[in-house]
Structure 1
């Protein structure tokens, strides 16, 4: 369901894919994140998504002006997962609120895998 903002001039509908693109792009700027993972990791196989498919690793739920964002990510080996996750949460929350004017209630991080660099 698209997000809706009312003001004195009318209303603005923001589609969930727009919010997902903003959230995915903001998350990719964070240190320790290798990339987004597909949401449907079956049998332990995780697909690392390319930059043009970021929205497949993001799920957005909107109700009026409130947004909940679920991110499915792959982190870099050797980084502290809790620190990376907190950085992503803060960055995504700030960016989505700043660009859309909507309130972000939650940003849920789902770590789907760890990538070891050789």
Structure 2
């Protein structure tokens, strides 16, 4: 899926990979997030953290009525309050999408795929 933005000079198309890079970068900046996980990590039995170039595997973008719906698959640090970290991810993702790409996210769903003990 691509998001199309019409401007006075023409049309801009944003691919899912561009959106996933912005979303993944925003999510990994939050305290308590260890990294991004694959959206099919449980099914594939794959627990590795995704690197920046693979954020698209941990973000699902779908079209909504007025904007987009974003699913973010994360790995969080042990001992953090998951609800607060998730809320911070939602706010940061919406902010970054609006200010960096000029698109609005109607819904940002945060899925916790794993909990890691940092330092081990």
Same fold (TM over 0.5): yes
1:84 aligned residue: 85
Structure 1 residue 45 displacement after superposition = 4.9
C-alpha contact (below 8 Å) 1:73/1:109 kept by paired residues: yes
2:50 aligned residue: 49
**Structure 2 unaligned spans of 5+:** none
1:102 aligned residue: 103
CA root-mean-square deviation: 1.8
Q: TM-score, normalized by length of structure 2?
A: 0.88
After superposition, the Cα gap between the structure-2 partners of 1:86 and 1:46, relative to the gap in structure 1 and judged at 3 Å, is same
Paired residues, number: 118
**Structure 1 unaligned spans of 5+:** none
2:21 aligned residue: 21
Helix, strand or coil for the counterpart of 1:42?
helix
C-alpha contact (below 8 Å) 2:16/2:56 kept by paired residues: no
